[in-house]
Amino acid sequence: MKLDSDDVWRALASPYRRKILDLLREDPKTTGEITRSLPELSRFAVMQHLGVLEESGLVLFRKEGRQRFNYLNAIPLTEIYDRWVNTLASGAAETTLHFKRYAEEKSMSDFRQVQIEHEVRIKASPEVCFHALTRHYNDWFPHRYKPDSEVYCDAELGGTTGERFAKGGGAIHSTVVYVDAPHKLVLSGPGAMLDGCSVYAVHSFEADGDSTVYKRRMDVWGVVSAEAEQGLRQGSQFLIEKCMVEFIEQGIKYSAKVQA
């Protein structure tokens, strides 16, 4: 579907609609959560604003039972930036546009959204778990383009996660869009080794006695086959329940020799 830039400009004209987009930058929210964040507006007014944002393509939604989850869709903004602000768009903007064009060339029946959630209890503090995900990422994370590369996670707003190849070069896996150490880290981007897909991952850590409840939610958009989805779910479970937990609780590290 071709989006009309006039609809995008009209949607951005309202300060309330801009506030809603700001709220959705962190993570998807239900209509009720948005209404509670804007107490000066009635639920009906919030729904009207969401309707305008939906028509412009800036907001996508998914229903779960009686709840409606609203998602920020940055593609229309990226297209305006690409056309009117800077013809040499940033790397992140180019990635988004290439993804959109790639998706439009495919059958829409192949385009899917997959959500993967995991929750695990780790015998360590939130600080230790957060540092394992950030400072010690290279010690346990096994999913790499090259076995001998170094993976990293710059846990600061606008930082990146990715890998540096041993002989030069590398790859960016995602960008840090929200950080509240040691409680929450949100990543967004092309993802590691997911050709033609976009990933939004939320990591949260909550203390529970002498342990931490670690929750990870990953949303993947793109051409995701049933086989690819199964691989993602199994790989995500292995990544958390074995690699990360064993590193934190037992000190077991990634080995390039084992992976090679």
At 130-164, the pLDDT tens digits run 999 999 999 999 988 888 999 999 999 999 999 99
Rounded average pLDDT over 93-98 = 58
AA identity, residue 120: V
Q: In this structure, are residues 170 and 163 in contact, taking their beta carbons and an 8 Å threshold?
A: yes
pLDDT for residue 99: 57
Higher pLDDT, 34 or 65: 34
pLDDT for residue 178: 94
Q: What residue ranges define each of the domains in the chain, with the CATH number in brackets?
A: 5-89 (1.10.10.10), 109-259 (3.30.530.20)
Is a pLDDT exceeding 50 seen at residue 213?
A: yes
> What do you get for the CA distance between the two ends of the chain, in Å?
44
Binned at pLDDT 50, 70 and 90, residue 214 comes out as very high
Q: In what order do the strands lie in the sheet with 111-122?
A: 111-122, 211-223, 197-208, 184-189, 170-180, 160-164, 150-153
Cis peptide before 142 (omega within 30 of 0): no
pLDDT for residue 1: 43
pLDDT for residue 2: 46
Q: What percent of the chain has pLDDT over 90?
A: 51
Is a pLDDT exceeding 60 seen at residue 93?
A: no
Q: H or E stretch including 138? A: helix 137-140
Rounded average pLDDT over 78-90 = 59
Q: Is the pTM of this model over 0.85?
A: no
pLDDT for residue 223: 76
Is a pLDDT exceeding 90 seen at residue 191?
A: no
pLDDT for residue 88: 44
pLDDT for residue 114: 87
pLDDT for residue 222: 79
pLDDT for residue 84: 60
Rounded average pLDDT over 85-113 = 56
pLDDT for residue 197: 78
Judged by DSSP in three states, 155 sits in coil
Most confident range, picked from 18-32, 94-108, 203-217? 203-217
